Structure 1
Amino acid sequence: MNYGNLRDRPVDFSSHGEWSLCPHCRYRRLVPHDELYGRAQDCPGCSLSVGPGKWQTGASDLILTSADVRWVCEVSWFHTSVHRVWPPAAAAAEDRAVHLGTYEAAIESMLYRMSAMAEHDQQFYLHRVEVPDISVDPAMHDDLGEALTGFVELNAVTSTGYQGLRYINEEEQKGSISLAVSPRAIRSVQSVAIPAPGLSAVVTARTTDCARRYDADRAAAESTLLPVDRENPLGRLDRLMGTTVSARRLRERDHRMWSAIGELFDGLSSIYVADVAPGLRERLEDAVRATLAVGPAAGSGIAEVYRRYAGLIVRSSEVLALVGAVPASRPTLFD
């Protein structure tokens, strides 16, 4: 789809493995997810053993790593942040560049920040960015360690005389190509609050069944306690150690509750995101857990929050249409 001069790339969250490089010979192969951190594998290129977690992230599309960088100016780029107006004023400092990526990478970054950076209570925004006149270094660069924060050192980007550089993203949508650019290179931005109302993943009969099963399991777990257990709640350490009969009952209740919530998330992920990378499924679950950290909730409530964020994945075309319909604005940081 097109909005003005921008072209959105097809969005595809599905993943059957990661394009990876042998650390010995740089042989490139698609490594299934269960082999990335399983037992050691012999590299087909050099026959040397590659241990679990030792495969290096390779580019998913080699064409995008060539010296021809014209495509960078022809497609839309994305970023997620807690700033309604982006880039924020902090980016006006001369020593800051900004991080841009695919739609998939931007959504995964938001999910990561919700749990790992305790931003689950913040309103996030999806920013669709146009950089049609940017000069891009034709060389590929290493992933930038501060990419998840959204800011990188400007000197690291412009020291070779260009306004932007490409690198293989090793954190979000692994293997995708991301950009670090000078804010001055951004011509326009379209922004929308996410998750968007009305664009949650749809309720299915299986969703309702999962929620009801969770409620029943939770009620069964609570029924194992006696009134004295509720009147004199023990600390977490006492429950873990099982120092008293009451503590052991509370510990068993907690284990059953953890099992119930785990089964609920397993069920929801099998309904909505079964074919995405395991890491993305985990980040989605962690983000929802962080949002619900205030206390226990009914299964339908947990499922509603899960569907809200899963909608960014399974209804991505509608999210793109929503942000694409927003009037583009020109950053005014440097006016």
Structure 2
Amino acid sequence: MELPDLGRLIERFDGFNYGYWMNCSCGGRSFITAHDYFIEADGAHMSCEQCGQRIRFGPAVAALRDKHDPALQDDVVTRFAWYHTSTSSDWPSPDYARRFAENLSWSDDLIGLSRKQYILNETTKALHLGTYETAIENMLRRMRDQGDGSSQFYLYRVALRPKPLRINPGYRDENHEDAANLKISDLNAENLDVVRYLNVHEATGVLSLAVRPKAIAAVQCIEIPLNELTVPIDTESFSADVARLKSARSAWVTAEAKIASIDRGTRVMMQFGARPDPGGLAKYAGELERHHQTLWYDFEARLGEQFLANVSPVIRRDFTEALACWRRENPTTGIYRFVERYAAMAALLEEPDKIQRTLRHMEWLVVHQTAA
């Protein structure tokens, strides 16, 4: 298989502090800052810069950030370095279908289609590539929404085949056309190797690709976060926060112990007055639990300000929620260890140049695909 000039791939970096462009029904586009997007200013409404019409902003009307994005040029698509995050250390693996089938827990009552058909649907999907930011934000979404809070992730730098690839003209808007769930059979039906589409869920407003495996020539891979970017944490600067969290948890656990014989559902009803609560023990335990949670929210907000200074409030929120999932899936982990993890993961967003430099020095692994 012919390989591209792997040493001359084009890099791009858009950063994690971007604003958003929104479409209007008049055909115009309007810009909103990350701050206003985050606080959902004016009830999540903005005025169109062209016609003045009110737009309810959000992913459903997200527009392409750069109307002249170089990735709109087919010949440039194959010269870009693309990125992907995965929990698999050998992505894209020709053995994926077998492993998926072996690990699948199945009940015929769950989905309404056969196990065989479900496996076929899930293992013949197109592969998705994007910018560095897209790959990192995809990882955060998986941590937050798909049970991968404590999963080990790998970051891939991807080179496409240099031969002319069959790419769709323009781009698809995934709000209106199928992109996220494309299967190889869909690409076959349209005689395409690559579908270029507007990503409205990660790095909103940039172009991503859905590709058949054979379109990928080679990959480089690193395990993330990078240990070498982990810096010693100044524990003294967090000592007061840690003391408050430990004290609040101790008080909450003590209160919970006094009502441990009562099931959770009954305790909730007691807290809301739907069941008798002798001595107000259930209500008191609930108040202490909420106080402990509030202290954690405040602490995580402080970590975001310290370790994600150059990241927009939107992405900082997504990051913090993802790391909160890591914390919940590692309940015995100490607070300082959580801070170390937070800082190490934050480096992926704050120091992308170092991450990409490390990745560029990794060995290229040629992708040998026998089908698709």
| SS at structure 1 position matched to 2:290 | helix
Determine whether 1:270 maps to 2:301. Answer: no
The TM-score, its normalising length taken from structure 1, stands at 0.86
1:81 to 73, 86, 92: 86
Alignment of 1:64-213 (within 5 A): 64=69, 68-89=73-94, 90=96, 95-131=124-160, 132-133=162-163, 134-143=165-174, 147=180, 152-200=182-230, 202=231, 208-209=236-237, 211-213=238-240
Query: 1:96 is aligned with what amino acid?
Result: K
Query: 1:121 is aligned with what amino acid?
Result: S
- Matches of 1:297 and 1:255 in 2, distance apart? 20
- Report which of the two has the higher share of strand: 1
Q: Is this contact kept in 2: 1:81–1:124, CA < 8 A?
A: yes
Alignment of 1:282-301 (within 5 A): 282-293=317-328, 294-295=330-331, 297-301=333-337
Residue of structure 1 in register with 2:31 after alignment:
30
Q: Is this contact kept in 1: 2:129–2:208, CA < 8 A?
A: yes
Q: Which moved more, 1:270-279 or 1:231-240?
A: 231-240
- Matches of 2:187 and 2:352 in 1, distance apart? 30
Deviation at 1:146, TM superposition (A): 6.6
Query: Compared with structure 1, are the counterparts of its residues 54 and 299 closer, same or farther at alpha carbon in structure 2 (3 Å cutoff)?
Result: closer
Q: Is this contact kept in 2: 1:3–1:324, CA < 8 A?
A: no
Residue of structure 1 in register with 2:55 after alignment:
50
Residue of structure 1 in register with 2:10 after alignment:
7
Q: Is this contact kept in 1: 2:59–2:200, CA < 8 A?
A: no
- Matches of 2:85 and 2:301 in 1, distance apart? 26
| SS at structure 2 position matched to 1:165 | strand
Query: 2:331 is aligned with what amino acid?
Result: G
- Matches of 1:106 and 1:67 in 2, distance apart? 19
Q: Which runs of 4+ in 1 moved over 6 A?
A: 91-94
Deviation at 1:180, TM superposition (A): 0.9
Determine whether 1:215 maps to 2:236. Answer: no
Q: What 5-or-longer segments of structure 1 have no aligned partner? A: none
Residue of structure 2 in register with 1:19 after alignment:
21
| SS at structure 1 position matched to 2:41 | coil
Deviation at 1:95, TM superposition (A): 4.4
Structure 1 vs Structure 2: percent identity of aligned residues? 25
Query: Compared with structure 1, are the counterparts of its residues 6 and 68 closer, same or farther at alpha carbon in structure 2 (3 Å cutoff)?
Result: closer
Query: 2:360 is aligned with what amino acid?
Result: G
| SS at structure 2 position matched to 1:311 | helix
- Matches of 1:301 and 1:240 in 2, distance apart? 36
Q: What 5-or-longer segments of structure 2 have no aligned partner? A: 99-119, 272-276
Query: 2:242 is aligned with what amino acid?
Result: D
Deviation at 1:266, TM superposition (A): 0.4
Query: Compared with structure 1, are the counterparts of its residues 284 and 208 closer, same or farther at alpha carbon in structure 2 (3 Å cutoff)?
Result: farther
Say how many residue pairs are matched: 326
Q: Is this contact kept in 1: 2:172–2:197, CA < 8 A?
A: yes
Query: 1:5 is aligned with what amino acid?
Result: R
Determine whether 1:311 maps to 2:347. Answer: yes
Q: Is this contact kept in 2: 1:112–1:287, CA < 8 A?
A: yes
Query: 1:76 is aligned with what amino acid?
Result: A
Query: 1:127 is aligned with what amino acid?
Result: Y
CA-to-aligned-CA distance 1:135-188 (integer Å, 9 cap, x gap):
3223211227673xxx63124335443311211110110011101111111111
| SS at structure 1 position matched to 2:363 | coil
Indicate the RMSD between aligned Cα atoms, in angstroms.
2.9
CA-to-aligned-CA distance 1:266-325 (integer Å, 9 cap, x gap):
001111224423332222112211111142654312211111211111121111122211
Query: 1:317 is aligned with what amino acid?
Result: D
- Matches of 1:296 and 1:240 in 2, distance apart? 29
Q: Is this contact kept in 1: 2:255–2:285, CA < 8 A?
A: no
Deviation at 1:203, TM superposition (A): 5.3
Query: Compared with structure 1, are the counterparts of its residues 208 and 176 closer, same or farther at alpha carbon in structure 2 (3 Å cutoff)?
Result: farther
Residue of structure 2 in register with 1:332 after alignment:
368
- Matches of 1:226 and 1:79 in 2, distance apart? 42
Query: Compared with structure 1, are the counterparts of its residues 197 and 247 closer, same or farther at alpha carbon in structure 2 (3 Å cutoff)?
Result: same
